Amino acid sequence: MPEIVLMGRAGRIEARYHHSAHPAAPLVMVLHPNPLQGGTMNNRVTVALYSAFVENGFSAIRFNFRGVGKSEGTHDKGEGELTDTAAVLDWIQSINQGERPLWIAGFSFGALVGMQLLMRRPEIAGFVSVCPPANLYDFSFLAPCPVSGMIINGENDTVCPIDSVNKLVEKLNNQKGIRIDYRVIPNCDHSFKNHLDTIRTCVAEYLDVKRIKNVANM
């Protein structure tokens, strides 16, 4: 899992990248929570998401948004962070030539940025969003949401309360052709203490379902 440095519009972007040994491995980008609350690419939920995809055969990258760690620039309330993410997407595609599934995953603020990029890059085939902050941001831009995905939330989350996430999931599931696999983890708050393995299990189960559907449609 080497440390790498990419170039974004604000300067250097610090990242960690795992390259799958499989020549046609799918790709995923994993986005961390709000830097203003201490979020980094080494946040344990972010790392759990990253590990889940690596364990399921993906080439995976996680990185620090601008102003975090060794990444240059300053926090930009989501706009610059979206630009950072697009730059990372361009990079991971540049070293993985050919058609292959591309996914995006994010935790909290990272889920927001990831779902915004989802609307701008049609090559993104799936997503996993953990605790999307639907209580703090307007997710009406997902109209229509271009692909199905998974949303995970803790039952006792007070940062991204479950009521607001329930409403977001209901709106998405009411869109034609969209199916959200929604997992609520009992007795779990925003920290996911003692529930990181559950995140990895949820992602693995969802990826298995997607593989089965893909085979059935061949």
Whole-number pLDDT of residue 78:
95
Per CATH, the homologous superfamily of domain 3-216 is: Alpha/Beta hydrolase fold, catalytic domain (3.40.50.1820)
Beta-bridge partners for 60: 18, 28
Whole-number pLDDT of residue 1:
59
Residue 78: exposed, middle, or buried by beta-carbon count in 10 A (0-12, 13-18, 19+)?
Answer: middle
Tokens matching residue 70: 């060794």
Among 66, 211, 52, 212, residue whose Cα is nearest residue 130: 52
The domain spans of the chain are: 3-216
Q: Are strands 11-18 and 59-63 parallel, antiparallel or unpaired?
A: antiparallel
Whole-number pLDDT of residue 209:
80
Summarised one tens digit per residue, pLDDT across range 144-195 is: 999 999 999 999 999 999 999 999 999 999 999 999 999 999 999 999 999 9
> pTM of the entire structure?
0.95
Whole-number pLDDT of residue 2:
75
Summarised one tens digit per residue, pLDDT across range 112-124 is: 999 999 999 999 9
Q: What is the block-wise mean pLDDT of the chain (218 residues), using blocks of 10 residues?
A: 89 97 95 97 98 97 98 96 97 94 98 98 97 97 97 98 98 97 98 97 93 46
CA dist 156 and 212 (Å) reads 32
Whole-number pLDDT of residue 216:
36
